[in-house]
Amino acid sequence: MGFEVIGNRKQFDEAVHTLIQKPASNALWTFLNGNDIKFIVNIVDGPSEFGALLNGGLYHPTIMWNPQKDLAIFGRNRPEQQIQKSWRTVDGVPVRVETLKWVSKGDPKDEILPPYICLAHEMGHAKQYAENPALFTSLGTSESISNIEAIEAENLVMHEWPICLEHNFKVRVNYQDFRSR
């Protein structure tokens, strides 16, 4: 069904035009236009974010997007998934534990992600919403914090990383790897 834009549509159209030149961004855009959900894009002065807003008894998946605001990150090259082995003591018995971890070699470099990448990040959340609306409408409950962490981690891996890399930007390995300016 696509997007209803509230505010200056020109900046949104320009950002989309830049995004859809590359395959992963284009696939995300095509997905969001190809289902029966109407997404609202609200052009704002404040921070960019995604939410499912309850209005008149219906949830409206809404992207708040600030076309002037970029995002400074500690940028790294493409991360790899590695198994991290460690020991933990359970009831006095040492147990070997293996966990999966995303790692990236080398020191992080300052990288500025432009507003259109921030829009793509929020579009990634819109896709997550389309795939699992209950996850978003449950935010605000006791599981909120861990749900938000899981949502952000998945959004990085599935959407933000491929989109950053195809537009020749470094990536943040963890959602928290940004800095305020």
Residues that bind Zn ion (CB under 5 A): 152
The nearer residue to Zn ion, 107 or 167, going by C-beta atoms, is 167
Closest by Cα among 71, 159, 72 to 109: 72
Closest by Cα among 41, 76, 89 to 62: 41
Beta carbon of residue 3, minimum distance to Zn ion (angstroms, whole number)? 18
The nearer residue to Zn ion, 5 or 71, going by C-beta atoms, is 71
Sort strands 38-43 and 2-6 into parallel, antiparallel or unpaired.
parallel
**Which residue is closest to Zn ion by CB?**
152
β strands within 66-124, DSSP E: 71-75, 80-90, 93-103, 109-113
**How many helices, marked H, and strands, marked E, lie in the chain?**
6, 9
Beta carbon of residue 98, minimum distance to Zn ion (angstroms, whole number)? 28
Beta carbon of residue 110, minimum distance to Zn ion (angstroms, whole number)? 20
The nearer residue to Zn ion, 11 or 128, going by C-beta atoms, is 128
Beta carbon of residue 151, minimum distance to Zn ion (angstroms, whole number)? 7
